[in-house]
Amino acid sequence: MNTKLIIRFLRVTLAISSILISSSQTGFGEDAGSRDVFPSSKVVYLTGASGPESLAFDPAGEGPYVGVSDGRVLKWRGESLGWTDFAYTSTNRKLCVRAYAPELEHVCGRPLGLRFDKKTGDLYIADAYFGLLVVGPDGGLAKSLVTEAEGQRFRFTNDLDIDEEEYVVYFTVTSSIFQRRQFFAGVLDIDKTGRFIKYDISSKKVTVLLQGLEFPNGVALSKDRSFVLIDEASTCKILRLWLSGPKAGTQDVFAEVPGYPDNIRRNSNGEFWVALQSNKVYFSKLSPFSGGISQATAMKLSESGEVLEVLEDKEGKTLRSISEVDERDGQLWIGSVQMPFFGIYDL
């Protein structure tokens, strides 16, 4: 083994050790308010598709809509009607016939974060390979909005949120070097080329707000729009960037979590649900293509970053490897970037 590989191995080992220590110190379990309730969740399977990373409901409350591994966005129409194709992010569909083919993602596209503009009904899509896109209420081929910033092309677009008052989209670019299918290499290299970006819908202006981030992933705007949250998955931290008030333009750590945070979604009370891809992290589970399946853990945080609730499927009986938790009408809608289904949990 050469020196560079040894250094990489040591870096990852130290990172894993720190997370395991953090998990141990946090002590998630019954004493910490953790509840093993997700095994009772309902599961809705996809048809010929896999990996519903993110879920979104349109302004009429229909859906959810989910982005899947073969580059499509599907719409759930209920038990009787099932799934229907809504949109896609690539024109090259001839090869995109397998439910799970990571080696073809750069051809077929990989829709990750999804958000509807409630005023227009447009669906904004963060596609890992094709950047920020939008598709109208009738679906079809999504239109490319932006694929680079400050002369640097996006390599791994991830998640987004929309400020409908300012009419801007905030989104993360996880890496400027590695694509999503090269995720494991980025982890080994401790990649710190991630960026957090603002796109003005009216002027089409693109502004880099933060750079040098380590695997930035989920995005969520606060209820009063005074700050936005961005998680750094590799560091197990959720960052807060202040958008207004005396701290505007500055950032701080909103919360530290005992695992890899994925998407963040705000509920109607202004609290935040964070999906953890893994609570106790093992080396074989770092890559979404390695076959490692982690337990399901969701944390609800207050507007100030306090842990309010922790819900789990500790043994992975029903839910595994969750990537998003969206609270809606007394239910949690739970996505997974790896599994061929999403979950519904009644609160």
| pLDDT greater than 50 at residue 21 | no
Residue 74: predicted pLDDT: 98
Q: Stretch 162-175: mean pLDDT, rounded?
A: 96
Band of the pLDDT at 187, cuts 50, 70, 90?
low
| pLDDT greater than 70 at residue 160 | yes
Alpha helices in the chain, H assignment, sequence order: 3-26, 105-108, 183-188
Residue 12: predicted pLDDT: 45
Q: Stretch 27-34: mean pLDDT, rounded?
A: 54
Band of the pLDDT at 5, cuts 50, 70, 90?
very low
Amino acid at 77: R
User: 207-234: per-residue pLDDT in tens?
Assistant: 999 999 999 999 999 999 999 999 999 8
Q: CATH topology for 3-346?
A: Neuraminidase (2.120.10)
Which pTM was predicted? 0.88
Asked which of 48-57, 98-107, 125-134, 296-305 is least confident by mean pLDDT, the reply is 98-107
Instruction: Specify the higher pLDDT residue, 168 or 47.
Output: 168
Band of the pLDDT at 176, cuts 50, 70, 90?
confident
Q: How far is CA 201 from CA 58, 156, 320, 325, in A?
A: 19, 21, 36, 27
Looking at the chain, the number of H-run helices and the number of E-run strands are 3, 28
Task: Please give the share of the chain, as a percent, with pLDDT higher than 70.
Answer: 83
Domain boundaries, the chain: 3-346
User: 307-324: per-residue pLDDT in tens?
Assistant: 999 999 999 999 999 999
| pLDDT greater than 50 at residue 10 | no
Residue carrying structure tokens 């299918």: 181
298's enclosing H/E stretch is strand 296-301
CA-wise closest residue to 67 among 343, 345, 335: 335
CA-wise closest residue to 39 among 313, 334, 325, 327: 313
Q: How far is CA 144 from CA 88, 90, 118, 328, in A?
A: 11, 10, 20, 29
Instruction: Specify the higher pLDDT residue, 185 or 227.
Output: 227
Distance CA 331, CA 44 (A): 14
Q: Are the beta carbons of 133 and 141 closer than 8 angstroms?
A: no
Distance CA 3, CA 345 (A): 48
Label the pairing between strands 324-328 and 307-313. unpaired
Q: Are the beta carbons of 343 and 319 closer than 8 angstroms?
A: yes
CA-wise closest residue to 192 among 205, 171, 211, 208: 211
Q: In degrees rounded to 5, what are phi and psi of residue 225?
A: 65, 20
Residue 180 has which token pair? Answer: 């999503």
| pLDDT greater than 80 at residue 178 | no
